[in-house]
Structure 1
Amino acid sequence: MPEVIFPGPEGRLEGRFQPGPRPRAPVAMILHPHPQGGGTMNNRIVQALYQTFAKRGFATLRFNFRGVGKSQGVFDNGVGELSDAASALDWVQSIHPEAQTTWIAGFSFGAWIGMQLLMRRPEIKGFISIAPPANMYDFTFLAPCPSSGIIIQGEADEVVTPGAVQKLVDKLRTQRHITIHHDTIPGANHFFEHEMPQLMGSVDRYLDMRLSQ
């Protein structure tokens, strides 16, 4: 899990990178929760997502948004963070230019940034969105959502209302040619404090299903 430093729009960005085992390895990037709420690339959900993609042979990157850890710059309300994510993806793709496919995964604020990146990068073929903050940010940019993915929500989430996420899922499901999976984890709060095995079980089942196709 080598530490990496790569150029971002506002200076260097700090990350952890697991290179792919072969040149055409698929690429995955994991995005962390809100920097002003203490979110970093070392968040345990971010780390678990990183490990599950790396284990499957993806070239996998997690990184700190601007102003977090050793990443330069200051928090920019999502605008700059989206630019950071685009730069980070460029960097991974420069190492794996022949990647067959690209996935994006994010938790909370990171899920919102990830879904925006999805709209801009047609090479992203799958996404994992954990507790996307549909009650705090506008998700109407997903029109249409360009690829299939899974949205996972805690049933007792006190930060992101399950109803707002359900509305987002219902809206995305009206589209043709993509499939949106939606899992609700019973009893889980926003941070899946006691439900990590159930959360990652949901992620792993979905990845197993998609990658076997």
Structure 2
Amino acid sequence: MPEVIFAGPAGRLEGRYQPSKEKNAPIALILHPHPHFGGTMNNKIVYDLFYMFQSRGFTTLRFNFRGIGRSQGAFDHGTGELSDAAAALDWVQSLHPDSKNCWIAGYSFGAWIGMQLLMRRPEIEGFMSISPQPNLYDFSFLAPCPSSGLIIHGDADKVAPPADVQGLVDKLQSQKGITITQKTMPGVNHFYTDRIDELIGECSDYLDRRLRGELSEPRPKRLK
């Protein structure tokens, strides 16, 4: 898996990139948890998601937000990190101009960034939002949410309380034209302690079903 350095809004960004053998393969971008709480692109969940998409033929990229590892810049409370994610997608798309579709997967803080990027990029056709934190971050921009996706979390999560996540899910499930799939894992905390393999299994099952044409509604192409 090539180590890559590419230009970001606040300087270089460090990533890990695996191109597909197919020129028109979809792209997957994986976003890591909060930098101030140990979040990096080498987080076990981020790492496993990367290989989950890669094993299904996606061109896959994960990277460090600004100020983490070899990525330049300083933490910017989400605004700069959203710009980093957009720059990362721009970079991989520049290498794969025949890729028409994209997926985004984010964990915790990365889920919030990913959902914001989803609103800005019409080519993103699916998302995985793992343990989002609507108790801490504002998700009101999802009005409406433009793509179908998975929201997965644990019922023993004290960082992203289940009731708050449920409120977000209920709001999104009331919107027309998309299918929001929710999975609540019993006995699981925010860090998926001893349950990461099970988490990845749930995400894999969801992705496989989506690739078979399930769990989403046909949607008109959005204009950029």
Question: What are the ranges of 5 or more consecutive residues in structure 1 without an aligned counterpart?
Answer: none
Residue aligning to 2:175: 175
- The alignment partner of 2:113 has SS state of helix
Number of residue equivalences: 213
* Alignment-mate amino acid for residue 62 of structure 2: R
Q: Are residues 1:134 and 2:104 paired?
A: no
Extract structure 1 runs of 4+ deviating beyond 4 A: none
Q: Distance in 2 between matches of 1:23 and 1:96?
A: 7
Q: Are residues 1:55 and 2:61 paired?
A: no
Aligned 1:128-207 pairs, distance under 5 A: 128-207=128-207
- The alignment partner of 2:190 has SS state of coil
Residue aligning to 2:110: 110
Structure 1 position 212, deviation (Å): 1.1
Structure 1 position 194, deviation (Å): 1.2
Q: Distance in 1 between matches of 2:164 and 2:177?
A: 23
Q: Distance in 2 between matches of 1:93 and 1:16?
A: 15
Contact 1:106 1:112 (C-alpha < 8 Å) held by counterparts: yes
- The alignment partner of 1:12 has SS state of strand
Residue aligning to 2:71: 71
Residue aligning to 1:44: 44
Q: Are residues 1:22 and 2:45 paired?
A: no
* Alignment-mate amino acid for residue 38 of structure 1: G
Q: Structure 1 vs Structure 2: percent identity of aligned residues?
A: 65
Q: Distance in 2 between matches of 1:180 and 1:195?
A: 23
* Alignment-mate amino acid for residue 62 of structure 1: R
Q: Are residues 1:123 and 2:134 paired?
A: no
Give a deviation string over 1:26-51, Cα, whole Å, max 9, x none. 00000000001110000000001000
Q: Distance in 2 between matches of 1:197 and 1:5?
A: 29
* Alignment-mate amino acid for residue 54 of structure 2: A
TM-score by length of 1: 0.99
Residue aligning to 1:92: 92
- The alignment partner of 1:207 has SS state of helix
Question: What are the ranges of 5 or more consecutive residues in structure 2 without an aligned counterpart?
Answer: 214-224
Deviates more, 1:96-105 or 1:114-123: 96-105
Structure 1 position 198, deviation (Å): 1.6
Give a deviation string over 1:20-78, Cα, whole Å, max 9, x none. 11110100000000001110000000001000000000000000000000000000000
Structure 1 position 14, deviation (Å): 0.0
Q: Distance in 1 between matches of 2:164 and 2:97?
A: 37
Q: Distance in 1 between matches of 2:69 and 2:196?
A: 25
Contact 1:185 1:198 (C-alpha < 8 Å) held by counterparts: no
* Alignment-mate amino acid for residue 152 of structure 2: I
Q: Distance in 1 between matches of 2:146 and 2:58?
A: 21
Structure 1 position 130, deviation (Å): 0.2
Structure 1 position 197, deviation (Å): 2.1
Contact 1:8 1:88 (C-alpha < 8 Å) held by counterparts: yes
Residue aligning to 1:209: 209
Q: Distance in 2 between matches of 1:92 and 1:166?
A: 33
Q: Distance in 1 between matches of 2:178 and 2:99?
A: 22
Give a deviation string over 1:130-149, Cα, whole Å, max 9, x none. 00011100100000000000
- The alignment partner of 1:53 has SS state of helix
* Alignment-mate amino acid for residue 176 of structure 1: K
* Alignment-mate amino acid for residue 84 of structure 2: D
